[in-house]
């Protein structure tokens, strides 16, 4: 049986991420693109659990590309890089911790479901804080709106992970 090269899987993930970002780009907060549902977060968690946390650089590329192509963010390249790094580091860290806890995929029981939900809820918080902080520092989001933006980003990512990641993790790969 021939295996798909790592680079091909990575490029497929990046393309799927950008497409999901485009499809879910509704009701964004300001021009930052913080939406109430983020399916690409679920795709990312599934991808990094399947392929391993060392593939988090693909997440950086996907998030950065989505910021530029889909969202047309007015932020500087360093701000976009910081926001994208927040996503890659946060969900890469989650994938690493899940691998250390012997997380089973497809989800084999309550323990694995709890690990995914609780881990995602925890990981989505620093991702949201880092993402929003990048735009606050860049001067694109007033500090007084950052709390609401973090909450909305956290909810959107958690919705995306809880909705999509279990389905993708059950998919044969």
The dihedral built from the CA positions of residue 124, 125, 130 and 136, taken in this order, carries a sign that is: positive
Tell me if 161 sits within 8 A of 42, measured CB to CB: yes
Residue 28's pLDDT is 58
Residue 125's pLDDT is 98
d(CA 44, CA 24): 15
**Does the pLDDT of residue 131 top 80, yes or no?**
yes
**Does the pLDDT of residue 22 top 90, yes or no?**
no
User: What average pLDDT does the segment 99-108 reach?
Assistant: 82
Confidence (pTM)? 0.90
Tell me if 13 sits within 8 A of 47, measured CB to CB: yes
Of the chain, the end-to-end C-alpha distance in Å amounts to 13
Residue 30's pLDDT is 52
């Amino acid at each position: 049986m021939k295996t798909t090269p790592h680079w091909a899987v990575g490029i497929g993930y990046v393309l799927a991420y950008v497409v999901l970002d485009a499809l879910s780009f509704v009701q964004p907060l300001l021009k930052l693109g913080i939406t109430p549902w983020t399916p690409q977060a679920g795709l990312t968690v599934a991808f990094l659990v399947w392929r391993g946390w060392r593939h988090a650089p693909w997440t950086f590329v996907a998030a950065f590309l989505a910021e530029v192509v889909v969202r047309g963010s007015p932020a500087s390249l360093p701000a976009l890089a910081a926001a994208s790094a927040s996503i890659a580091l946060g969900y890469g860290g989650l994938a690493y911790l899940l691998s250390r806890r012997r997380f089973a995929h497809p989800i084999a029981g309550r323990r694995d479901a709890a690990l995914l939900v609780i881990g995602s809820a925890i990981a989505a918080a620093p991702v949201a804080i880092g993402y929003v902080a990048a735009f606050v520092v860049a001067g694109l989001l007033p500090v007084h709106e950052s709390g609401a933006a973090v909450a909305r980003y956290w909810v959107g990512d958690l919705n995306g992970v809880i909705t999509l990641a279990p389905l993708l993790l059950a998919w044969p790969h």
